[in-house]
Chain A
Amino acid sequence: MADTLQFELVSPERLLLSEQVEMVVVPGTDGYFGVLPKHAPVMSTLRPGVIDVYRGGTISQQYFVAAGFAEVNASGITVLVDEAVPVAEITRAKADERRALAQGMIDKAGSEGDKRKAADAMRVAEEMAAVAGRAN
């Protein structure tokens, strides 16, 4: 059996996942990166995208995450996210709903901060739609 590393996926509301896995691919701000056991310590911000969890040589779980942080150290990888949804639960309809919501925010946004937030929400929605498109 291949080496494994401890993977923890945590959202503010609860600990979503904590188990031994073979590899994790996370959507870093500067691009996707894979983490295998004995990876060098890294801290990275995340962008909207999909986390792939590998076990037994194939992807065993996929989570869509909106934004967050990943920390890799000797004990494993910890991912802190604002929101995580299993990819299987993402549908076209849900993504469209999110997009409509984000569009509403963009239309209403007055201040600079609002605009940035709306743009972020839109990015998340777009990514979600892309994921939904790939899945179906």
Chain B
Amino acid sequence: MPSLKDFRVRIASVQSTKKITSAMKMVAASKLRRAQEAAEAARPYAERMEKMLGNLAGSFKGQAGGPKMMSGTGKDDVHLVLVMTANRGLCGGFNSNIIRNARLLIRDLKDKGKQVKVLCVGRKGRDSLRRDYRDLIVDSFTEFARKRVAFVEAAEVATRVTEMFNAGQFDVCTMVYARFKSALTQVVSRQQIVPFPLPETSAAAVPYDYEPSDQEILEDLLPRNLAIQIFRSMLENAASEQGARMTAMDNATRNAGEMISGLTLKYNRTRQAMITKELIEIISGAEAV
């Protein structure tokens, strides 16, 4: 039977764990708010970009041989999978959900006889996928979102993807990330970003003047749109991560609380049992005299 001291030590240790988890929960909650704000602040740009693309696409309608990034390479032999995870753990099932989804996607593609390449954004995804798919990972980005997700970081990833695409290293690019629904639910989603599915164009497209030319603008706009899509998913991911961490830490705090009350109960029972035992010893000793 554990002694009273053992109980006291256990309780103290669970208590300090609880303190840590509840502090982490608070931190995650405040970071979540900031991440959510950032995701919302980024929305106008993405919306307007979409509108611009829609307007531009109108002028390309029915025209063959638009930029490859829009119309595709005409093949889908090589797939690039962009796996977006967090850099840090302790956020419940967040990372493992994304990784599981990515694994499924990779296996599906391989079963279909496609060649798969993996680009990891986030340390956790890289660490985990490296075990099984070491030879598939072409690159990984882990130095980002120290404080908040900056656009330049997304642009870096986008540049790499664009370069690979222009070099003909893949045909289709899909990213796997967690879409933020609420602090409690994050939905792991897949989104195809290359070739980019065009937004529906409005029927009455205005005739624009293009400077320098529509072709050049589109060639400039598409990689930028890629960066925006990646940026947006990184922001969603950041918010999801904090949400998942908050929930996980909330659960951990509650579990620690339950454990403490269980242990305290046992501690008190043991203490009383010992007192009773001592009393019995004293009384029976006195009776024997």
Question: Interface segment, A55-63, A74-82, A92-100, A123-131?
Answer: A74-82
| B interface bracket (residues with beta carbon within 8 Å of A) | 20 to 34
Residue of A nearest to B56 (CB): A43
Q: Using a CB-CB cutoff of 8 Å, which residues 147-193 of chain B contact chain A?
A: 150-151, 154-155, 159, 163
Asked whether B48 lies within 8 Å of A78 as measured between CB atoms, the reply is yes
Asked whether B41 lies within 8 Å of A8 as measured between CB atoms, the reply is no
A30, A74, A80 interface centre (most CB from chain B within 10 Å)? A80
- Once A and B bind, how many residue pairs between them come within 8 Å at the CB atom? 84
Q: Is the interface of B mostly helix, strand, loop or mixed?
A: helix
Asked whether B151 lies within 8 Å of A14 as measured between CB atoms, the reply is no
Whether A40 touches B151, Cβ cut-off 8 Å, given contacts A13-B41, A71-B52, A80-B52, is no
Asked whether B41 lies within 8 Å of A15 as measured between CB atoms, the reply is yes
User: Is A11 part of the contact surface with B, judged by Cβ < 8 Å?
Assistant: yes
Asked whether B212 lies within 8 Å of A73 as measured between CB atoms, the reply is no
Q: What are 23 A-B pairs with beta-carbon distances under 8 A?
A: A10-B44, A10-B48, A13-B45, A13-B151, A14-B42, A30-B211, A41-B207, A41-B208, A42-B208, A42-B211, A43-B52, A43-B55, A43-B208, A45-B220, A69-B224, A71-B55, A71-B208, A78-B48, A78-B52, A80-B45, A80-B48, A82-B151, A113-B163
Binding site for B on A (CB under 8 A): 8, 10-15, 28-30, 40-45, 69, 71, 73-74, 78, 80, 82, 111, 113, 117
